[in-house]
């Protein structure tokens, strides 16, 4: 059965409408993702990644590290562990020399 030009046109506009709605939906989802990200950030900020209790910022050798008020786990910000291992390099070398 031949397709009438008018129904082809309808299909074209239906497709255009679909694409328009799909774009709106896509933007909504992208916004949802950033809202969800923000919500999670607020929920987890300064909370222990292991037990979920409050982290307390303490100073250790001039660095600010976060220690858990519950399980006493220690959380480093990016780069802090490397800085600490520089301080501790001597002590670590001595420790590992025991196993040689």
What residues make contact with Zn ion under the rule CB under 5 A?
Answer: 48, 50-51, 53, 68, 70-71, 73
Contacts of 92 (CB under 8 A, 6+ apart): 85
Residue 70: CB minimum distance to Zn ion, A = 5
**In this complex, which beta carbon is closest to Zn ion, that of residue 63 or of residue 74?**
74
Residues forming beta bridges with residue 58, ordered by sequence position: 65
> 53 by DSSP, 3-state: which?
coil
Q: Which residue, 20 or 49, has its beta carbon nearer to Zn ion?
A: 49
How far apart are CB 61 and Zn ion at their closest, in Å? Answer: 22
Q: How many residues does the chain have?
A: 100
Using only the alpha carbons of the chain, give its radius of gyration. Answer: 28
Q: Which is nearer to Zn ion, 24 or 40 (CB)?
A: 40
Helix or strand or coil: residue 83?
helix
- The nearest distance, CB 45 to Zn ion, in angstroms, is 14
């Amino acid at each position: 059965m031949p397709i009438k030009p008018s129904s082809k046109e309808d299909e074209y506009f239906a497709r255009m409408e679909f694409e328009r709605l799909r774009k709106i939906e896509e933007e909504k989802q992208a916004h949802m993702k950033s809202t969800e990200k923000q919500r999670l950030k607020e929920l987890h900020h300064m909370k222990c990644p292991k037990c979920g209790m409050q982290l307390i910022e303490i100073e250790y050798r001039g660095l600010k590290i976060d220690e858990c008020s519950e399980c006493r786990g220690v959380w480093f910000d990016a780069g802090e562990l490397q800085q600490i291992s520089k301080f501790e390099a001597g002590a670590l070398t001595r420790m590992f020399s025991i196993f040689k």
